[in-house]
Amino acid sequence: MTDRTETIFLPPLGLAGAPEPESMRQLSVPPPAQRGRYALAYWPAALRSLLVPHRMDPAAARWTYAARFQPQAGDHARWCAAFGLDAAEAAGAPFLFSQATGTLLYMRLFADLGLNFRHLLHLRHRATHRPAPAAQALAGQTVSARVAAVHSLGARKAVVHVACTVSNDDGLVLLNVQDDFIVRGYRPGQLKALPRHPAPPFEALQRPTPRWAAGAAPWHRLLDVAADLGQRYGALSGDANPVHTTPWAARLFGHPQPFLQGLATRSLIVGQLAQSGFRISRLDLHLCRPVPCGTRVGLSHDGQRFELSDAAGATLLASGRFEASMR
């Protein structure tokens, strides 16, 4: 298979640049541990996003949203438990502990654009990580997110690029992310004002096949995706979309069973890589197909590139590259 994975990562981590004051909106976001408060913030917004007319208004997405996030001492252990990992062996796994905060910020951005969530699909995730200094590991952080760009992808599809950073109170950027989403379901002419997406096209849209034949990769492991992993991840991350957590909702939206959130697929991969001894600093993930809950999958890597496929190695589910040091 031709390697279409781009070698471009995000800019190096540094100090957070302050957005223009008139473009910044500070939000108060409850942690998912406060289930009642978080549900009151999440579910009304989620239901509205499924009912609103589908449109695209990039001019309305002019805000950078920011919110505070408070790390907890047990975060790593809880995330490892959800993915069946040994917390000591997976030390340093770059889980997105702040994702519950980011989920609500992203929902505000998508609402500004006018997107109906039924037409939204996560295509690509790029991240650059820096561990917080040990003395500040549990210090408060700021999560900020903005729409970086919107492009058309043909007459009926658009691509939304979201940039997100997590920084500490000294302005040190700990996490730099770009997430790319495809948005379907537009009428011809509805996207004519948008610039076209530059080449090359997204790898996930090419329906690539696995690079390695079953068992031929330098490192390969079969993993069981728990039937309730979407539910567990929703409790950690705030992304409790019912297509990931309940069979009836998955079937309602055309899927035979619940499937993992895109960033749950990310956590599944980085957790296994960390447990194998890698301390990941950069990740480039292409989400090619849904990962069904309650199935077995195969993870392969060669120390730089990785693939997640079905157990037989015939269908590629996710692929990408990582940069890491060994523990």
Structural domains of the chain, with CATH: 21-326 (3.10.129.10)
Residue 151 · residue 158 · CB < 8 Å: yes
pLDDT at residue 167 above 60? yes
> Would you place residue 14 in the very low, low, confident or very high pLDDT band (cuts 50, 70, 90)?
low
The pLDDT > 90 percentage for the chain reads: 72
* Residue of 326 and 22 predicted with greater confidence: 326
Give the span between the Cα atoms of 320 and 108, in whole angstroms: 28
pLDDT at 47 over 50: yes
Distance CA 264, CA 262 (A): 5
Confidence of residue 132 (pLDDT cuts 50, 70, 90): confident
Residue 8: pLDDT over 50: no
Residue 32 has pLDDT above 90, yes or no: no
Please state the rounded mean pLDDT for residues 50-60. Answer: 91
Burial category of 37 from C-beta neighbours within 10 Å (exposed 0-12, middle 13-18, buried 19 and up)? middle
pLDDT in tens, 253-310: 888 999 999 999 999 999 999 999 999 999 999 999 999 999 999 999 999 999 999 9
Closest CA to 126 of 14, 210, 11: 11
pLDDT beyond 70 at 15: no
Mean of the per-residue pLDDT values of the chain: 89
